[in-house]
Structure 1
């Protein structure tokens, strides 16, 4: 009898098993199958990639920067793989007893099981399966491969003779390549146990709040009994009595196979279920209780992930990668700094105030975001009273996006004019006799800062700001007319380009159009009339703190794939965007607003002089106010940390933020810095060269 003829006979036998055909039973006795050597009946099957290197969906986990504190998980199927030696022996025994008692004897297809099902099927409508653990694994792996299309997945699970033959062929081939323990490990990690738990690790946690290694006999028997009918037997959402019945069945089978003695099984049978349900969090709305404020950071993380080409060609594909890939993501979020920032923000405004104070904390030289705080409740529910962002919101008030374009940051944008001037060759001691009002050549369409169609800003406090100024004093006192003159001197388009180079994103359509088509005439840009976000602003100032090294803001410390390998997408994205000496000079001038001292010139007054003395370490920064005090901004930095906060009404940009708010912001920023830097070494800024401080030079190449 040749192999082709044997394969044909095997197909007839299989048809009898599946359909219960009595005619097939008469044609091919089971004894013949045993005598032929069943594993030799089937031709060798080339294993598909989904079986050779399976990629079952696994949940991804997002941790705080300590790598232990769980923020949340992302999954379509709650699963995380564990090696078989981390599964209690009693669990391995229970699953074999429940699903495939001859697992260690057959070669992938159990001929006795096939014959038994063949003999029973068809009697009074009885249906009995003959799938081994290996065959079940094959079916689950083929159906669960994330690389398959929906049509391919449907074919892998269809009820047909062809599918059964494929499973048998693949099962036989798989057992030629893998050990029994390897197959058992794969099965335990892919099986569905009900209640949304895929794999033994998720099931152990879901039902008993434990790990696979700590499962007891009663727990293992219950879980092993669930895989037959995971939805109907699920004791949490389904039928607890049915689950207990299946547990008793598994225990009896373990006694029959000699895995446990009858007395031990009897004690396990009478144990209470003792469920300790523990649902794995999924998505940003499931951040831990008491840490609702983490939701905004989590939301920004998902925005970041969706923008990474390393994880797929589209946002949808990248989300599937996140929810199926089993990534371990250690974020940049520092829970302690986040807690302090939230506490301080709530002292600026309570949650019940329609005004907001979004705040970002960024690490210079890495771009890592340690905290994102705002006086709002993170919630996916619709916001009450028709308000988009009060008091509950999922909108990204700190980082922008999702319809949030940002807020005017006022005079904090003078930093970009300062940098453009330094790059053009002007030194820090560039002197200008600043008048109360300065008429520029930039055209404007009316308004309080218009003089015959020209932009002509004024100083807020002429007694303090008018007169001879340098970059040090003008930045410290925030002299509008000095920076209007300086902008005209270096070119408004260079100031705009400098801001973009440091990561300011123009999210508002009008701002984007001006930056693209009208930057040469955008003189008012130096006074912060463009919308920005606390994150963009903190990161721009962090670039100066890092001596000109700009890093893309990131929520990531590291990313590892399901096998534990670090991936490059989690690395910092940094590059030198400013001449080091120019950055040092800007930092030196930025010490004047916050009560610190320049390396060269005594700072004789600043808009936030109370900030540095309380911190007692070298500090730089700037404050800003927009027209009619619609927004108030404070940004401060040390060589190790940058913090920015903007007070605004996200739902009504014309609403003034209220008296005294900037004083509260200054206190908040100082407290956050002091807390975040506790125990850290006191680092000073590196002084700029005397050339950039005092001597005019030719414009720098490339600028």
Structure 2
């Protein structure tokens, strides 16, 4: 996987990482075939010309320019070793995002190994290790960093667009060739970004959480049925200059915080794992159960605490070696079906529903709807060999991004049609005409009935009410309907200790996902007082963004 382009979807991630004999044999065959055509040095050269070095630098040439403002041939030994050390974990060793301590430790390790391999002398290694990590960060022109200050918040969409572009084979054989083609190809590109909606999005976000906050509050809006990304906003300034940033909320870290300036893809579409999304993941269990033919009336008695079938390590939510989750309040105790279980977000109902359909089916549904597993822990549990035992999955313990979640919920809004997230409406080449890469990539992922029933359950959350059943006397997102003022569905979500709070809301025309979390310290509680912010941000954005659009109604299941 490392010597190939980044995966474009969850299926590719699994295909490239699952521990099977078939995959190992395939990789051996590929390696043998490559070595017959290319030397090891040539293979390494090709890899380094496409590898990710952080700060959206793909390839050693781009990394050399961005970190040191010079070409690779002009790098000192210490500078070259710094770049070589980045490839393993660009975010962890990024010398531009902290005081350089981690980058220096990694660089010195590289220099030591070079001496051990007789690539340099011990004296050269010692001399280079004595040098501090000195950067001369270059902000490339015509890049996302250079977006005009008055529309700097557009830069996160620009970053998503670049990440999408470098995966498109129509523009070159590798990421560097594709970026060169973007800069020199003379393309006329119409993006999917809606300037008015984007302005509304950044205004709504900034009203609730300023750039001076260590909490990141963001929102992504997607059009159901096309995958067009209409807005991406977060309370940050897009810049590599972190010299004036606030202190990291992690007391053990020497790095500055990610506020107000960062180029980290906090909204998705990049290399960051994201944030746990809590009860919004119940959507995947709901979809999996409906897809398996289970009716909306499927009922379970949901006690305050439930002892599940899932084996768990000792901990506060473990009873006799089994995972035993609890509900958010004792008032949820009782018999529930899919309408009331989803509308009231009853944990012990959804654990039983997950048991009935199979946790592996819920995990697979998330993958079918576009989620990728980016952390080692999530990849381990999502492995098909183990996913049937991943009981906590339904309560949102995996990391994700607002881009992924908005797009996943858009499937329900689009009557079961899944579309890849798309940042462009059209791309026209001076010599090739319209480029097909800009066309929506959509297919039916679940049946119309499955999608409409899932939407009916999600209508209970917002207070809009279900068409096919009784939502009960209250819901977790009852404030949504009075704000939006038109048919709306969605799901609230908070994690343990409110480390992150989410809301995903949708109408037939738009799907929006908002979150609040601490990207510097994911386990830092945001506080119960912040849980309303994603709900209100999405609700206001759907209201204002659709103000001039006709009211659209959900189809009955």
Q: TM-score, normalised by structure 2?
A: 0.72
Equivalent residue runs for 1:469-488 within 5 Å? 469-488=336-355
Q: Is the contact between residue 216 and residue 516 of structure 2 (CA under 8 Å) also seen in structure 1? A: yes
Q: Aligned partners of 2:189, 2:432: CA distance in 1, in Å? A: 11
Q: Is the contact between residue 286 and residue 338 of structure 2 (CA under 8 Å) also seen in structure 1? A: yes
What is the deviation of 1:281? 6.2
Equivalent residue runs for 1:161-180 within 5 Å? none
Q: Structure 2 residue aligned with 1:613, among 459, 475, 482?
A: 482
Q: Hey, what does 2:189 align to over in structure 1?
A: 329
Q: Hey, what does 1:396 align to over in structure 2?
A: 265
Q: Hey, what does 1:499 align to over in structure 2?
A: 366
Residue 292 of structure 1 pairs with residue 292 of structure 2: no
Q: Aligned partners of 1:512, 1:320: CA distance in 2, in Å? A: 33
Residue 351 of structure 1 pairs with residue 211 of structure 2: yes
Residue 427 of structure 1 pairs with residue 282 of structure 2: no
Equivalent residue of 1:647, what SS? strand
Q: Is the contact between residue 434 and residue 468 of structure 1 (CA under 8 Å) also seen in structure 2? A: yes
What is the deviation of 1:512? 1.3
What is the deviation of 1:348? 2.5
Q: Structure 2 residue aligned with 1:662, among 528, 531, 540?
A: 531
Q: Structure 1 residue aligned with 2:450, among 582, 600, 603?
A: 582
Q: Aligned partners of 1:600, 1:302: CA distance in 2, in Å? A: 43
Residue 304 of structure 1 pairs with residue 164 of structure 2: yes
Residue 455 of structure 1 pairs with residue 315 of structure 2: no
What is the deviation of 1:602? 3.0
Equivalent residue of 2:519, what SS? coil
Q: Aligned partners of 1:512, 1:347: CA distance in 2, in Å? A: 36
What is the deviation of 1:658? 2.2
Q: Hey, what does 1:684 align to over in structure 2?
A: 553
Q: Aligned partners of 1:613, 1:468: CA distance in 2, in Å? A: 28
What is the deviation of 1:380? 2.2
Q: Hey, what does 1:209 align to over in structure 2?
A: none
Equivalent residue of 1:292, what SS? helix
Equivalent residue of 1:359, what SS? strand
Go from structure 1 to structure 2 and tell me whether the alpha carbon gap of 1:281 and 1:337 turns closer, same or farther (over 3 Å shift).
farther
Q: Aligned partners of 2:350, 2:470: CA distance in 1, in Å? A: 20
Q: Aligned partners of 1:401, 1:512: CA distance in 2, in Å? A: 17
What is the deviation of 1:564? 7.5
Q: Aligned partners of 1:339, 1:541: CA distance in 2, in Å? A: 23
What is the deviation of 1:441? 1.1
Q: Aligned partners of 1:665, 1:557: CA distance in 2, in Å? A: 28
Q: Aligned partners of 2:170, 2:242: CA distance in 1, in Å? A: 33
What is the deviation of 1:387? 2.6
What is the deviation of 1:603? 2.0
Q: Is the contact between residue 549 and residue 575 of structure 1 (CA under 8 Å) also seen in structure 2? A: yes
Q: Aligned partners of 1:307, 1:446: CA distance in 2, in Å? A: 43
Q: Aligned partners of 1:387, 1:576: CA distance in 2, in Å? A: 45
Q: Aligned partners of 2:490, 2:215: CA distance in 1, in Å? A: 23
Residue 415 of structure 1 pairs with residue 283 of structure 2: yes
Q: Aligned partners of 2:256, 2:414: CA distance in 1, in Å? A: 39
Q: Is the contact between residue 596 and residue 603 of structure 1 (CA under 8 Å) also seen in structure 2? A: no
Equivalent residue of 1:581, what SS? helix
Residue 369 of structure 1 pairs with residue 229 of structure 2: yes
Q: Aligned partners of 1:387, 1:543: CA distance in 2, in Å? A: 38
Q: Hey, what does 2:375 align to over in structure 1?
A: 508
Task: Give unmatched runs, 5+ long, in structure 1.
Answer: 1-279, 689-703
Equivalent residue of 1:593, what SS? helix
Q: Aligned partners of 2:198, 2:315: CA distance in 1, in Å? A: 41
Greater relative contact order (CA < 8 Å, ≥ 6 in sequence)? 2
Q: Hey, what does 1:622 align to over in structure 2?
A: 491
What is the deviation of 1:553? 0.4
> What do the CA deviations read for 1:283-307 (whole angstroms, capped 9, x no partner)?
1112123111011110111101011
Equivalent residue of 2:433, what SS? coil
Q: Aligned partners of 2:362, 2:487: CA distance in 1, in Å? A: 27
What is the deviation of 1:521? 0.3
> What do the CA deviations read for 1:60-82 (whole angstroms, capped 9, x no partner)?
xxxxxxxxxxxxxxxxxxxxxxx
Q: Aligned partners of 2:313, 2:259: CA distance in 1, in Å? A: 34
What is the deviation of 1:570? 0.7
Q: What is the number of residues matched between the two proteins?
A: 407
Q: Is the contact between residue 362 and residue 542 of structure 1 (CA under 8 Å) also seen in structure 2? A: yes
Residue 645 of structure 1 pairs with residue 505 of structure 2: no
Q: Is the contact between residue 333 and residue 369 of structure 1 (CA under 8 Å) also seen in structure 2? A: yes
Q: Hey, what does 1:534 align to over in structure 2?
A: 402
Q: Is the contact between residue 502 and residue 535 of structure 2 (CA under 8 Å) also seen in structure 1? A: no
Q: Is the contact between residue 348 and residue 661 of structure 1 (CA under 8 Å) also seen in structure 2? A: no
Q: Aligned partners of 2:376, 2:321: CA distance in 1, in Å? A: 24
Equivalent residue of 2:531, what SS? helix
Equivalent residue of 2:461, what SS? coil
What is the deviation of 1:388? 5.0
What is the deviation of 1:324? 1.1
Q: Is the contact between residue 437 and residue 456 of structure 1 (CA under 8 Å) also seen in structure 2? A: yes
Q: Hey, what does 2:411 align to over in structure 1?
A: 543
Residue 592 of structure 1 pairs with residue 452 of structure 2: no
Q: Hey, what does 1:573 align to over in structure 2?
A: 441
Q: TM-score, normalised by structure 1?
A: 0.57
What is the deviation of 1:634? 0.6
> What do the CA deviations read for 1:118-148 (whole angstroms, capped 9, x no partner)?
xxxxxxxxxxxxxxxxxxxxxxxxxxxxxxx
Q: Aligned partners of 1:332, 1:400: CA distance in 2, in Å? A: 15
> What do the CA deviations read for 1:584-606 (whole angstroms, capped 9, x no partner)?
00000100011111012232221
Q: Hey, what does 1:339 align to over in structure 2?
A: 199
Q: Aligned partners of 1:452, 1:401: CA distance in 2, in Å? A: 40
> What do the CA deviations read for 1:534-570 (whole angstroms, capped 9, x no partner)?
0000000001100110000011111111248211011
Go from structure 1 to structure 2 and tell me whether the alpha carbon gap of 1:331 and 1:669 turns closer, same or farther (over 3 Å shift).
same
Query: Which structure has the greater CA radius of gyration?
Result: 1
